[in-house]
Structure 1
Amino acid sequence: MVEAKRMKFGTFHLMEQPFTKSEAQVYAEHIEQFKLADKLGFDSVWLTEHHFSSVPYVPDVDGEYCVCASPYAMACAVAMITENVRIGTAVKILPLEHPLLTAEEAAMADILSGGRIDFGVGLGYRKYEFEGLRIPVEEKLERFNEALEIILGVWTTEEFSYEGKFWSVPRMTLVPRPIQKPHPPVWVATRLGTHEVIDYVASHGYHMLSAWAPPDQLGQAYKLMREARSNQGLDMDFPFTCVRHVFVAESDEEAKRKGTEYVDYYMKSTAQFRPIGDHERGQMVFGGPETCIEKIQELNEVAGINNLICWMNFGGLPIDMVKASMSLFVEEVMPKCREFGAVQQAAE
């Protein structure tokens, strides 16, 4: 196995709101977490987007699933309070908004952050979000493709025009534009398992965002991505990323005692949207430092993961517990995992 650059780590921010907290408190706690991530040496923070995540849509859960409706508004806030972390969206749901607005919002965030934006995009998967905005969910793939073409077009073309099925753009020059050239890195949320999706991502020079696939499936996708990038003549040193819940305590027993109720809350809040079982619990990076290191090493060696996005504030965890877990992760887990490097080929 050949190693390259060091492994990287980010933090993921869904911004759940248990009814024990106000929206203002949720935002304030994540602001604390952004500042700490920057101070501790995390490489990135990642912001999500959801709409109408209220009780009528998420029954039997004592809280809101997500209160981050505008990831680029939040990205601008993050830009003002951090200096080093990259700021990604995981993801901006492209079919839900006019692409010119998305292009402007992301460009502003890129400027305010000094060129730290990672443009993570996806189709969306919650039907009620499309219904609430009166957008036919069956159109989401076509809308996604059209929106991304427009956004990249206005970012890179001095005078751009477009005639599409859903949007038309008169000849214009977009202001403002991102300061990263030709544009911020593009990350696409993908469901693994198809050559077509991976070929699409690789052929455009984009990066993949994935979440809950087990290591063996991620490893297969990694090999397909290497093959596709090789066919395109692209660099083999590329980020291969997944999201995992991460909770670190002094020991496995302490992690179980302190963290289990918050894992249970998260599982309950998302169960209606996709089936969840013990296999997903088993994929969490959860336990004492040595257990967490072993989990991350498996992701690196079996799946090719060299960029782990750590979901550390989940299920209503008190902010003091989140910050303690982050600090312990950086002190005891991250230094050893940095040494794993970015594997160039997943283990057979």
Structure 2
Amino acid sequence: MMRIDLAGWTREATQGDPRAFFALFDEADRLGFDGVWFSEFRLPTADWPYPSPLLLAAALLARTERLRVGTSVLVLPLHQPLLLADEVAQLAFQSGGRIDIGVGRGTEPATLAALNIDAAETRARFERHCIVLQAQAAHVPLYVAGSTPETLGFAIERDLPLLLSLEPPETTQLGHVADILQGRPSTLLRRSSLARYVCIGADAASVQSQLDGLWAQLQARRAFFAAKRGVPPEQVPRIEPERMLHEQFIHGDPAQCHAQILALRARSGIDALRCVFNANGLLDNTQALAGMTLFANEVLPALREPA
């Protein structure tokens, strides 16, 4: 049975009335999704209202019955690991064990500078803090997000499942994992989690209409983040819709979405999927909830059947 979670509520997608925001996940709980994941953006320069995913998790866990809440990710170099382990253990206890902790190294220069953290030290701090967290909160599911052979090798050495990325797609990461494992048997990928944009509709026309409205917005977002790295607009690669649909999307009517998820599972060996129904904030919550509802009614029941 596959685990089907939600993701995509990050940065500007978290803005708005908190009551309406929380109600969205009350409905996700009712619809039968397994969990939802939130990111950590400390000392944000924009109006992003939830810099602490643990505080957000505490609020949601207190009002839902079965939905798990995960962090994707806690930026470990920013934290004192023993205190963080205390907070994680408390959340696990008061929620009946419904917390998942994804961790990463983080490289946001402004945050590191504000906290007087040397960027050259973040890898060592990440690994040291992760070892402490794994030991002190051993009963809490712990995941590692990373794209480099060093981070992936560390996760494999510690037998920690992975949170594989949506952008860029996970192909390179899986290649690194294969190189590191060199054919050795491992359950790590089966316990890991993939992410995909999900664009679902009752028929082909409604799906195509949704997709047609996304490409320009996704290109603009790609250019925005490239500019933050100093890349001029003319050097930003253009989106290739067919390739992106293959590598980053689940799309189509319910039957097509179900078939694509099963194929992805067979191809990757991964049993957990983080579904992004809001295109990481490019679609509003009303549109996202419509997709979530159709998916929950028509696709989730089939995915709950034993493999």
Q: Match of 2:29, as an amino acid? A: D
Q: Percent identity?
A: 27
Measure the CA separation in 2 of the matches of 1:258 and 1:218. 29
* 1:51 aligned partner: 42
1:209 pairs with 160, 163, 166, which one?
163
In 1: Cα distance, 2:75 partner to 2:207 partner: 34
Matching of residue 152 in structure 1 with residue 134 in structure 2: yes
* 1:280 and 2:244 matched: yes
**1:324 counterpart = 2:290:** yes
Please tell me whether the aligned partners of residues 159 and 188 of structure 2 are also in contact (alpha carbons under 8 angstroms): no
Q: TM-score by structure 1 length?
A: 0.72
Q: Is the 8 A contact 1:285 1:296 kept in 2?
A: yes
Corresponding position of 2:193: 241
The structure 2 residue matched to 1:298, chosen from 236, 258, 263, is 263
Partner of 2:77: 95
Question: What is the deviation of 1:51?
Answer: 3.2
Question: 2:34 touches 2:68 (CA, 8 Å); kept in 1?
Answer: yes
| Residue among 178, 192, 200 paired with 2:154 | 200
Q: Which residue identity lines up with residue 116 of structure 1 in the other structure?
A: R
Structure 2 unpaired stretches of 5+: 227-235
User: Deviation string for 1:64-122 (max 9, x for gaps)?
Assistant: 6x543101001101111112122211110111122233223222221221111111100
Instruction: Tell me which residue corresponds to 2:103.
Output: 121
Residues 14 and 267 of structure 1, relative CA distance in 2, 3 Å threshold: farther
Once the two structures are superposed, residues 180-229 of structure 1 have per-residue CA deviations (whole angstroms, 9 ceiling, x without a partner) of: xx33111000216x3x5444223312111111355755664665687677
Contact 1:186 1:207 in 2 (8 A): yes
**Structure 1: how far apart are the matches of 2:183 and 2:37?**
26
Does the Cα contact within 8 Å between 1:110 and 1:117 map onto a contact in 2? yes
Quote the Cα distance in structure 1 between the aligned partners of 2:134 and 2:270: 27
- Aligned counterparts of 2:11 and 2:187: Cα–Cα separation in 1: 37
1:9-88 counterparts in 2 under 5 A?
A: 9-17=4-12, 23-25=15-17, 27-54=18-45, 66-88=48-70
Structure 1 residue aligned with 2:141: 185
Matched-pair contact (CA < 8 Å) for 1:16–1:316: no
TM-score, normalised via structure 2 length: 0.81
Give the match's secondary structure for 1:187: strand
Q: Give yes or no for contact 1:99–1:151 (8 Å, CA) kept in 2.
A: yes
Equivalent in the alignment of 2:231: none
For 1:273, what is the secondary structure of its paired residue?
helix
How far apart are the structure 2 equivalents of 1:258 and 1:90? 26
Say if 1:13 and 1:48, in contact at 8 Å, map to a contact too. Answer: no
Deviation per CA, 1:266-286, whole angstroms, max 9, x where unpaired? 553354435663243542223
Shift of 1:13: 4.0
Deviation at 1:238, TM superposition (A): 3.6
Query: 1:236 Cα shift?
Result: 7.1
Hey, what's the Cα distance between the residues in 1 that align with 2:107 and 2:204? 34
- Give 1:301 deviation, angstroms: 2.0
Q: Whole-Å Cα distance in 1 between the matches of residues 71 and 60 of structure 2?
A: 12
Q: What amino acid does structure 1 have at the position aligned with 2:285?
A: I
Query: Mean Cα displacement is larger for which, 136-145 or 261-270?
Result: 261-270
Question: CA 1:221–1:9 in structure 2 vs 1: closer, same or farther (change >3 Å)?
Answer: farther
Give the SS at the match of 2:61: helix
Distance 1:215 1:336 in 2: 25
Q: Does 1:135 align with 2:117?
A: yes
Q: CA separation of 1:117/1:10 partners in 2, compared to 1, >3 Å: closer, same or farther? A: same
Bigger share in helix: 2
- For the 8 Å contact 1:249–1:288, the answer to whether it is kept is yes
Q: Is the 8 A contact 1:246 1:311 kept in 2?
A: yes
What is the Cα-based RMSD across aligned positions, in Å? Answer: 3.1
- Cα separation, partners in 2 of 1:335 and 1:319, compared to 1, 3 Å: same
Partners of 2:35 and 2:171 lie apart in 1 by 25
Helix, strand or coil: the match of 1:72?
helix
Indicate how the Cα distance of structure 1 residues 237 and 147 shifts in structure 2: closer, same or farther if over 3 A, else same.
closer
Contact 1:203–1:228 under 8 Å retained in 2:
no
Q: Secondary structure at the match of 1:10?
A: strand
8 Å contact kept, 1:17–1:23? yes
- 8 Å CA contact 2:82, 2:132 repeated in 1: yes
CA contact (8 A) 2:191 2:272 kept: yes
SS across alignment from 2:299? helix
